[in-house]
Amino acid sequence: MDLSRFPRRVYTHGATPLEFMPRFTRALGGPQVWIKRDDMLGLAPGGNKTRKLEFLVADALAQGADTLVTCGAPQSNHCRITLTAARREGLKCRFVIEERVPNSYRVDASGNHFLFRLLGVDGITVVPAGTNMREAMQRVADEVAAAGGKAYVISGGGSNALGGLGYVACAQELQQQFYEQGVRIDRVVVGSGSSGTHGGLLAGFLGNRIGIPIVGIGVSRDPADQDPLVHQEAQAVADLLGLDMTVPREAVLTFGDYWRPKYSIPNTKMVEAVQMLARTEGILLDPVYTGKVMAGLIGLTRAGYFRADENVLFLHTGGATALHAYEPQVLGDAPVAE
């Protein structure tokens, strides 16, 4: 698949590492676990949104935008990386923050919100849970236009067909690494939220005929709600690429439960996963996304879903900056949900 016809800004020079995790594998006592270090992508300090923004920001610049407008939760990694891209390109940046958990937004919060302030976000609009985020972002874009600017609206998580191209590029990168490193991967485990990463990677695997199943771990929804979003995103990416392909429904697989009791609320499985990877491999996960995704990998292993002789790849999508907003919970010094 030729991605060169799409405008693209390059924020990462070279491939992110593909590494085996021997000490974590030993501690888990299950499959051979590998990790794709997309937490080391460009735009401080890395994460999966960087791949999406390479295409989205290029489109914004092509349209003559001077302001990026996007949305997320109070500790949004996507907002932080979008702001970093804006600073790299000399653009303004404004957020609509959805307070999905009541009273979770604090002006003086640590973690990503500290970085919002450090990087100098140009405006934050806080709205309650359930707000129509597309309409809320459009109101901000209208304010920018009224002031003589031109806004480019980026959907939550950068999850649309254009952003999904970033994970088509990742699929191609992985295919090359498997060949160069002589690695055989049996299954890939990925976080499944706004669906751009999961859907884009699935479209990339199908389009490049990479016959490896992708196992999604929901970070905010169970399969009945999550699978249709992933399928829709994968199909949209395939259509944008002109693949003349219908994405099979059975190619979409997600597991729920590990995100409970609610999006961004810590639970004991997440705490175990974050501590386990930090203390075996020195790799940091985050409490909202990758910690719960790794909890899914651990839980599925213990349930016998992954065989001991399999090679399982964990896609690390970044987000460790949010750890500082959850320090007592992650260290076990404060109670968390079961």
Quick: pLDDT tens for 104-116: 899 999 999 999 9
Indicate whether 185 and 116 sit together in one domain: no
pLDDT tens-place string over residues 10-37: 999 999 999 999 999 999 998 999 999 9
Are 102 and 123 within one domain? Answer: yes
150: CATH: 3.40.50.1100
Q: pLDDT band at 44, cuts 50/70/90?
A: confident
Same domain, 192 and 325: yes
Indicate whether 7 belongs to any domain.
no
What pLDDT shows up at residue 103?
Answer: 86
| 3-state SS, one letter per residue, for the chain | CCCCCCCCCCCCCCCCCEEECHHHHHHHCCCEEEEEEHHHCCCCCCECHHHHHHHHHHHHHHCCCCEEEEEECCCCHHHHHHHHHHHHHCCEEEEEEEECCCCCCCCCCCCHHHHHHHHCCCEEEEEECCCCHHHHHHHHHHHHHHCCCCEEECCHHHCCHHHHHHHHHHHHHHHHHHHHHCCCCCEEEEEECCCHHHHHHHHHHHHCCCCCCEEEEECCCCHHHHHHHHHHHHHHHHHHCCCCCCCCHHHCCEECCCCCCCCCCCEHHHHHHHHHHHHHHCCCCCCCCHHHHHHHHHHHHHCCCCCCCCEEEEEECECHHHHHHHHHHHCCCCCCEC
Mean pLDDT of the region 152-162: 97
Domain around 188: 18-47+159-330
> 175 and 38, same structural domain?
yes
Residues 31 and 104 in one domain: no
Examine residue 8 and state whether it is found in any structural domain, yes or no: no
- Considering 108, 142, 157, which residue would you say is the last residue of a domain? 157
- Of 126, 141, 157, the last residue of a domain is 157
Question: What residues act catalytically?
Answer: 76
Q: What pLDDT is stored for residue 161 in this prediction?
A: 98
The pLDDT-based confidence of 45 (bands split at 50, 70, 90) is confident
229-286 pLDDT per residue, tens: 999 999 999 999 999 999 999 999 999 999 999 999 999 999 999 999 999 999 999 9
Whether 12 is covered by a domain: the verdict is no
- Of 105, 129, 157, the position where a domain reaches its end is 157
* Model pLDDT, residue 32: 98
Q: How high is the pLDDT of residue 278?
A: 98
Reported as a single tens digit per residue, the pLDDT across 199-208 is 999 999 999 9
